Chains A and B, each alone.
Chain A
Amino acid sequence: MKYQYWIYATWLNFVVRYRKTLLGPLWLMVGPILFILTIGMLYSRINQADSNQFVPHLAIGIIIWTLIVGFVAGSTTIFQRYRSQIMQGELQLMDITMVGVFTTVLQFLHQVIIILIVLLYYKIPINAYTIVSFLGLALLIINGVWLSIVFGIIGARYHDLNEVIQAIMRIAFLATPIVWLPGGAGYGGVMGKFLMYNPFYHYMELIRAPLLQTPISPLSWYVVLTFTVVGCSLAYLFKAKFSRVLALWV
């Protein structure tokens, strides 16, 4: 376990990417801010929703979504991108996975500032319930680890996975309540009927609901915890079975 490598490689990914820019990693905040301002103004008119309710929902939603997409979409090609390191025999599967996860999390941490500003601006209370959000976040990050191992290995063997995921994530964005508000009791609207079959919604709820002071349905806990346990076991099996043939696939 090369902990120092995980941190250094993550830091270097960042430094190198933003070295030649003026704003540096602050560019990570520009995209979401523009998105929130535009969609916030536009959709709160179309949906006739209260902007006090809609904008925090949108802002937190899009930032958590960016984290989810980072995990899911980044995982499918991760081992191909580290081909030369794998062929030198110096890095283990877990080293590459952790650098991938850390890089995604570090990007997210820059965007957390936007969430803080929104919470302050709309005077949403911060209390003991807010802390549950960190639990949800920790679960999501753990899921990012198994996802990277499982999807990374399948994606190395079948390059089709990346294309499949790209296609799915675009629809999933619309199927998850980010630019729209679910109706009463958490399930409503056109997509409402299918909402509980959308795993992304449940991950989102565990992090967003405590911040917005809305209740979390027990179903969301069951779904996320089940996914975490099943996913981690799968990752364990995949790692044991495929990590040694990975070099042949990438």
Chain B
Amino acid sequence: MQSMPENRIVQVENLELKVPIFKPNDRHLLKNPMGFLSDLYFTHAKRRMVKILDNISFNLDMGQRLGVIGPNGAGKSTLLRTLAGIYAPTSGSVNIRGSVKGLFDITLGMNQEATGLENIYLRCLQMGLKLNEITSLITDIVNFSELEESIDNPFHTYSSGMRMRLAFAISTMVKPDLLLMDEWIGAGDANFRDKVKSRMDALVSNSRGLVLATHNTGLMKSLCTHGIVLSKGRNMFFGEIDEALDFYQQGRASGIII
């Protein structure tokens, strides 16, 4: 690990990430019905490397919370995944002090056939908790998710709301130093939404740092202190959140950011 100032949480230097993309041949099947056959047997998808993140640098100090701003496909989720350590930089460096937790696709990775309770154990062990720690968390998770006796039913029998509530209750049990979020989580009925909000607020105020990608400008203004503007994987702007949002709006209007 490179030397980082005492109070620094995230240090990203010249980050570049190339990702392999399989691009099948584009073909309009009505114009070319034989495309079905030729795609299956003769032509193969071409693998090529695409630069998703290009020369990104920024620092985040203790108490600073970063909003990732950019249009769809700008590389916001990819940047979060790189910070989470899921993707390794092709070049450049990412240094993070302390533990990181990303809240991405939280309902994925559940065992569909297992019961809610079994999924609590499975997911908590996956997140690195120990069995005795989990046992003390069970009541809290079950109460929070309001699943009651449904907790003993298989996960695939749950409604989408129940899945979301359980996944949320489990994923927010660990308290990381740096919290990464791809879109703010705020699903569920009105009653649950309040609980989610207070849990999220607690999580944000307890973590030493936050990186949030969202299209909700109001939310970003209230939560984040700094903003980074991405366009096609490039770092267009990094600075105070209000300036970053202004830059983004002007950039969109003038067509610099596409």
A88: contacting residue among B87, B102, B118, B131, CB under 8 A: B102
Binding site secondary structure of chain B? loop
Q: What range describes how many residues of A lie at the interface?
A: 20 to 34
* Cα(A87)–Cα(B104), bound, Å: 8
Q: Are B105 and A84 in contact (CB under 8 A)?
A: yes
Indicate if B69 sits at the interface (CB-CB under 8 A). no
Q: Which residue of A lies closest to B86 (CB)?
A: A89
- Tell me which of A29-37, A172-180, A241-249 binds B: A241-249
Indicate if B161 sits at the interface (CB-CB under 8 A). no
Q: Interface readout for B15-36 with A: 1 if CB under 8 Å, 0 if not?
A: 0000110000000000000000
* Cα(A249)–Cα(B109), bound, Å: 18
* Cα(A244)–Cα(B141), bound, Å: 32
B114: contacting residue among A12, A88, A244, A249, CB under 8 A: A12
Which residues B69-125 have CB closer than 8 A to chain A? 81, 84-88, 100, 102, 104-106, 108-109, 111, 113-114, 118, 121-122, 125
* Cα(A213)–Cα(B106), bound, Å: 54
Please judge, given known A-B contacts A12-B114, A89-B102, A245-B88, whether A5 and B125 are in contact too, CB under 8 Å: yes
Chain A contacts for B86, CB-based, 8 A: 86-89, 247
* Cα(A248)–Cα(B87), bound, Å: 7
* Cα(A91)–Cα(B86), bound, Å: 10
Chain A contacts for B114, CB-based, 8 A: 12, 15-16
Q: Are A19 and B105 in contact (CB under 8 A)?
A: no
B105: contacting residue among A8, A16, A87, A248, CB under 8 A: A87
Chain B contacts for A217, CB-based, 8 A: none
Which residues A72-102 have CB closer than 8 A to chain B? 84-91
Chain B contacts for A88, CB-based, 8 A: 86, 102, 104-106, 108-109, 126
Q: Are B87 and A247 in contact (CB under 8 A)?
A: yes
* Cα(A5)–Cα(B20), bound, Å: 31
* Cα(A85)–Cα(B81), bound, Å: 13
Indicate if B218 sits at the interface (CB-CB under 8 A). no
Indicate if A9 sits at the interface (CB-CB under 8 A). yes
15 contacts between A and B (CB under 8 A): A4-B130, A5-B122, A5-B125, A8-B122, A9-B122, A9-B126, A16-B113, A16-B114, A19-B113, A84-B105, A88-B86, A88-B104, A88-B109, A89-B100, A89-B104
